[in-house]
């Protein structure tokens, strides 16, 4: 592969990465808005969110015994 082909390949890669970022931005923005609205609703209803790391080995064993 020559230097010209290598630089052309890099340019195409950069363009595809930029295009993916532009497409992903609205999805990330919408997801963040919906998560924020969900957390507001949860707080209003008095629900609390357990931490994601809350499923420890002991809790997993208790759930399996049920």
Q: Give the C-alpha separation, 5 to 30, whole Å.
A: 39
**9 pLDDT higher than 80:** no
Q: Give the C-alpha separation, 51 to 60, whole Å.
A: 15
Angle at 38 between CA 50 and CA 52, to 5 degrees: 25
Is the overall model pTM greater than 0.85, yes or no? no
C-alpha neighbours within 13 Å on the C-beta side of residue 48: 3
Q: Give the C-alpha separation, 2 to 8, whole Å.
A: 10
Q: How confident is the model at residue 18 (pLDDT cuts 50, 70, 90)?
A: low
The pLDDT, as a whole number, for residue 33 is: 94
């Amino acid at each position: 592969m020559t230097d010209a082909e290598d630089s052309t390949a890099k340019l195409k890669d950069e363009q595809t990465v930029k295009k993916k970022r532009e497409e992903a931005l609205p999805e990330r923005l919408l997801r963040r808005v919906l998560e924020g609205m969900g957390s507001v609703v949860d707080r209003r209803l008095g629900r609390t969110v357990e931490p994601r790391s809350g499923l420890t080995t002991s809790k997993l064993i208790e759930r399996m015994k049920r």
